[in-house]
Every structure is written in C-alpha cells, then in structure tokens.
A and B are shown apart, each in its own frame.
Chain A
C-alpha cells in the first residue's frame, strides 16, 4: 500500500493505493499519524486506487473513524472500488461512514 495526503481549507484527504490488508497495518499507523497531524473539519479517505480490502483493512478504516470522532470531525470514504462494495455491505459500513462515489 502507498498513500499521499492533500489538504484544502476544511478537509484533509488521504489517497490510498494498492492493497489494504493485514500486511499493511504498520504503514497504516503512519498514514493515520500523517492524516490526523493537522486539524480539519473533515477527513476523507479516497479508495479509488485500492485493489483489495480485507477485514483488517476494514478495521483500519474503523480506526480512522475513531480518530475522526476523537477530533470531533467528519470522515468520508470516496471511490469505493467495485470489488469492495459487497465487503462494505456485509460489514454494514454504510451505517458507519458517509460514503461518496
């Protein structure tokens, strides 16, 4: 997995690339630290270039959600890949996240 972070006036966006699986937990910790290093009204995780998400990847997104809640900010998932939509549905992520696109 690789990632980049961009900021606008009221949002910070992490663009993820590659696989979001159990083997990426260490890098994800760095991502979370980077993403939440600056305050924002909304945090966005762009999954457009993510190839695969497993249950550990879902857990990582829930950690990001918790961090956003602690920061009293919103969190949005965008660009959910087709092959992850069933996984998100099984995990009922639509009840936990604002999902766009």
Chain B
C-alpha cells in the first residue's frame, strides 16, 4: 500500500526516496503508473520538501516524445539503483500486466531492453567507451573503470528514465524509451542500422536490434527509442 504522504502527484505517480523492491513490484503490477526515485541513499531525513521539488523536476525530464503521447509506464531512477535491481524484468512484467507483450517475444525483448539500459548506464551516465573485445587486458580494465565510476557519486547519482509509450503511428508497435543523463553524442556518427559483420555481432547493438522493430537515438544521443514489433503489442492470450 503506497504511503499517502508520498502521493503528492496524481495518484498514479509515486515518488520514493530510495527505490525498494516493493516499489518496483507496484510499478509492474499496476499499483502505480510512474515511479520516481527522488532522494537516493544520502537524502537528508528531513528533506521532504527538497525531495518533492526534485521529484517534480525529474518528472519533467521524461523525454518530450514520451510525455506528448502519454506514458503507459514510467520509471526514473539513479544509476546506482539501476545496477542494484533487475530493471528489465520489472519493465517486462509491467508490459505483460498491460497486455503489451506477447509471451513468445519477451525473451528477445528482455535482452534488447537490458542492453539498452546497460548502454545508457555505461556509455551515457558512466561515460565509458566500449572495451576492445579482442584485448583481454583492455576488457578487464573496463571492469575496473565501471567499478570506479559506480563508486563516484558524480556518476552513481545520475538518473535514468525508462518509459513505455503507445505506438507513434497506426500499425506500429508500442515504444520503450531509455534516456540517460550523460553528455550525449552525435547519432550520425553511428554506423548504419543494419546487422553488423558476423565477427562483431556479439555487440549489444545487435541484441537490441534483434529484439525490436527498430531502434533510434534522439538527436542529442541521450534517448534511445525501441519500437516494438506490432505483434508484440497485441494482447497476450496467455
């Protein structure tokens, strides 16, 4: 049962100081529509007003393309919390609850969403470049760099916004938007959105493309939109 004192938005929006598993359960089973982590581990115990102000600010930072079409399911959380909880599982459960995801496609979609979130965390909020996968030393150093950045509040407290939105156009699938608080990049610098060479196909981008109809970055490079297969938007008969 949500704490009424925390429902200072519309009832469907819930703000919490530090994200707990029960809050995520509420998001996935319809207990709330939008969940915002507005405090973090070091929030002052008497910082209620400050926390509310922060929650209002964070709500306004859901991507414009999500807010204009409506948010069916929204989650704003810190990088630290995103690394602590199984967020893709929460979102997929929420999709199922809303009848958005056909069960047959959920494994690939789960993987695509996981990779989109990891991409936003690593390259966005933690501002780390991919390691050279053919160089064990570089690959291992990458692990050290992740741990160092996660231990630094400057990076750990950066936010991530995940939202499920209705189809942008008739005949298309629902959309999952993942926005990070990093410095962004120029999407035009990416290679064409086609399957990469077989020897490169283990990359996260290939797994993202395999789980959705298409994936596109916003012009500032901070938001990745996964447009789901239309058939995934049909109600799950199971």
Contact = CB atoms under 8 A, between A and B. Distances in A.
B85 to A, nearest CB: 12
A55 B203 contact: yes
Interface string B103-140: 00001100100110010001000000001011010011
A83 B198 CA distance: 21
A87 interface: yes
A29 to B, nearest CB: 4
B118 A86 contact: no
A90 B140 contact: no
Interface stretch (A5-13, A40-48, A62-70, A71-79): A62-70
A25 B140 contact: yes
A55 B136 contact: no
A79 to B, nearest CB: 18
B206 A91 contact: yes
Interface in A1-46: 21-26, 28-29, 32
B133 A91 contact: no
A10 to B, nearest CB: 24
A22 B207 contact: no
B83 A23 contact: yes
B139 A63 contact: yes
A59 B136 contact: no
A81 B203 CA distance: 19
B15 to A, nearest CB: 27
Contacts of B143: 24-26, 28-29
17 contacts: A22-B118, A23-B83, A23-B146, A25-B139, A25-B140, A26-B143, A29-B140, A29-B143, A54-B111, A54-B115, A54-B204, A59-B139, A62-B133, A62-B202, A86-B108, A90-B206, A91-B206
